[in-house]
A and B are shown apart, each in its own frame.
Chain A
Amino acid sequence: MIKLMRLEWKKLKQKSVIGEMICYPLILMFLPVFFIEAVSADFGQSYAAVIELNLFIQMGSILFGASLINQVFIDEYKNKTISLSFSYPFSRQKLFAAKIIFIALLVFLLTMASYLLTGVTTYVIDQIHPIINGDLTRSDIITFFSQMIFRSLIITVNSFIPLFYLGIWKRATVPTVICGVVAMNSHLSQMINLNFNLVLVVLCVVGSLSVFLSIITAENIGEM
């Protein structure tokens, strides 16, 4: 499986993926400061509020997941290179599982790195130019790191929402990205008085189901 994942990486346009992996954190790392300064100072009322804000901001990594679905699945179907993979001595389920784990790993690692970088950047800026009320407490730090792993996992699962239907079945590039954008902005559900945590749970279920269906139907839906 590790070998198959390594080969997935070799097949990709690596410079483009690395470029994305640099751009996402670079953009996201300044967003908490931007929100506090330009949108509402309420976001900076405490470190706890900023940590919560950071969690929403990192949902942007879902878009990276959609981009990877495009490159790892849809492009292979469009360029017909998927038929090459099917002629190798691996079952379609195994090939798909390797692709999915590969995407999951990249999204998870990027989200963790971006989350950490955003947190550190915001803290450093606050030390130079105070924008957050109050001090950073031990409890804030524990919350920050525990949420870093937990939320990265949630974001990773959510990034697979478009995989089965739009990625493998319909092989549609733009709708996959649009779906990623919608999932990324799921926190806006609070504006219509929906419980965000419940929305996240539903999205995680949909994401998990999408992964499950992608693997178990690999033989039929995944056929050329």
Chain B
Amino acid sequence: MEYIIQTNGLTKKIKEEELVSNINIHIKKGEIYGFLGQNGAGKTTVLKMLTGITSPSKGEILLFNEKLTEKNKSILTRVGSIIEYPVFFEHLTAFDNLKLHCEYLGFYDEQDINQALLLVNLKGIEGKIVKDFSLGMKQRLGIARAIITKPELIILDEPTNGLDPIGIKDMRNLIRMLNKEYGMTFVLSSHILGELEQIVDRVGVIHHGKLLNEMTLNDIRKERSDYIELVVTDVKHAVYLLEKDLHISNMKIIQDRKIRIYDMAHTQSEISRTLILHDIGIEEIQKHSNSLEDYFYQQINGGDLDD
């Protein structure tokens, strides 16, 4: 298995406070990896260490099977990134900012700058001072900067921040295109789980500075099937009827009056009809499709959305 990123026991401490501890990430070549976590969970701290912005207090980072250290940062030429939010030299033009970035990486081709600007729909305003850009435009310019040298790995921290719905869709398409056509590996962090769900292959959930799990989206879907959830007036009687009349065995009583049915052989109307015919009141019935959001909440607090 070829890993682009591997971390072993990655830990960051500031003044005795552990921001993240013992993080072991494994990101494969060519995949789109989603990094999930609440605000303050430690996502940005990990991403900052992966991009050389801060150094780990403990543990190691292997990028392209090469150890990233303060003394050996040459592998960062193969990485593009936006961490937190895109920062620029605001008094310079968009073009000058991109040119400066290329020069730092020992790479300069005016055509590539123009192509990157075209990909993020910023063509024609390259001569504009960045100070005059909106947040959305800065975000697009940040993406342009991250992809300009066609790096093998792109790390984007909250890449859809400040983008309008069309911008978000464009961004998604751009990431897909770069991943497919150029084989670029992406690490994306976002708090918009539905957004990530549409694009990532695998996710890692971080909570209170600890990596809880890494799983592919397919495995998440397999592991947790869809279910029908209903709130009834008489749980015991309802369960009895569901087993006897509808032969449903895969179900769970969640709370006093709430039942979760994982056996999807029967429709909501069949279930309702059976229960109503036996005078069981139904206060609520709803079909749930498992989403990344469910998985995320399950990981961080056992499925309780209110935490």
Whether a CB of chain A sits under 8 angstroms from the CB of B237 is: no
Chain A contact residues, CB within 8 Å of chain B: 3, 7, 10-11, 13, 79-81, 83-93, 219, 223-224
- Residue among A3, A87, A90 with max Cβ neighbours from chain B (10 Å): A87
Tell whether, in the assembled complex, residue A86 and residue B52 are in contact, meaning their CB atoms are under 8 Å apart: yes
Whether a CB of chain A sits under 8 angstroms from the CB of B249 is: no
Tell whether, in the assembled complex, residue A224 and residue B54 are in contact, meaning their CB atoms are under 8 Å apart: yes
Q: Which residues of B contact A90 (CB under 8 A)?
A: 73, 104
Interchain Cβ contacts under 8 Å between A and B, 9 examples: A87-B76, A87-B79, A88-B104, A89-B73, A90-B104, A91-B71, A219-B70, A223-B54, A223-B55
Q: Which residues of B contact A79 (CB under 8 A)?
A: 87, 89-90
User: Whose C-beta in chain B lies nearest to the C-beta of A223?
Assistant: B54
Tell whether, in the assembled complex, residue A89 and residue B75 are in contact, meaning their CB atoms are under 8 Å apart: yes
Q: Which residues of A contact B81 (CB under 8 A)?
A: 87
Within 8 A of A (CB), among B73-111: 73-77, 79, 81, 83-84, 87-92, 96, 100-101, 103-105
Tell whether, in the assembled complex, residue B89 and residue A83 are in contact, meaning their CB atoms are under 8 Å apart: no
Q: Which residues of A contact B104 (CB under 8 A)?
A: 7, 85, 88, 90
Tell whether, in the assembled complex, residue A11 and residue B52 are in contact, meaning their CB atoms are under 8 Å apart: no
Q: Which residues of A contact B70 (CB under 8 A)?
A: 91-93, 219
CB distance from A17 to the nearest CB of B (A): 12
Q: Which residues of A contact B139 (CB under 8 A)?
A: none
Whether a CB of chain A sits under 8 angstroms from the CB of B51 is: yes
User: Whose C-beta in chain B lies nearest to the C-beta of A4?
Assistant: B104
Within 8 A of A (CB), among B258-306: none
Question: Interface of chain B, helix or strand or loop or mixed?
Answer: loop
Is the interface on chain B under 10, 10 to 19, 20 to 34, or 35 or more residues?
Answer: 20 to 34
Q: Which residues of A contact B96 (CB under 8 A)?
A: 10
Whether a CB of chain A sits under 8 angstroms from the CB of B246 is: no
With contact pairs A7-B104, A79-B90, A81-B87 given, residues A86 and B71 touching in the complex (Cβ less than 8 Å): no
Closest 6 CB pairs of A and B: A89-B76, A88-B104, A89-B73, A86-B53, A80-B87, A87-B51
Interface flags for B237-268 (1: CB within 8 Å of A; 0: not) read: 00000000000000000000000000000000
- State A80–B157 Cα separation when bound (angstroms): 15
- State A87–B63 Cα separation when bound (angstroms): 14
Q: Which residues of B contact A224 (CB under 8 A)?
A: 48, 53-54
With contact pairs A87-B81, A87-B83, A89-B73 given, residues A81 and B53 touching in the complex (Cβ less than 8 Å): no
CB distance from A112 to the nearest CB of B (A): 28
User: Whose C-beta in chain B lies nearest to the C-beta of A81?
Assistant: B87
Tell whether, in the assembled complex, residue A88 and residue B105 are in contact, meaning their CB atoms are under 8 Å apart: yes
- Beyond A79-B90, A81-B88, A88-B105, 5 additional contacts (C-beta under 8 Å) are A84-B87, A87-B51, A88-B73, A89-B76, A91-B73
- State A79–B130 Cα separation when bound (angstroms): 13
Q: Which residues of A contact B89 (CB under 8 A)?
A: 11, 79, 81
- State A7–B99 Cα separation when bound (angstroms): 10
Q: Which residues of B contact A92 (CB under 8 A)?
A: 70
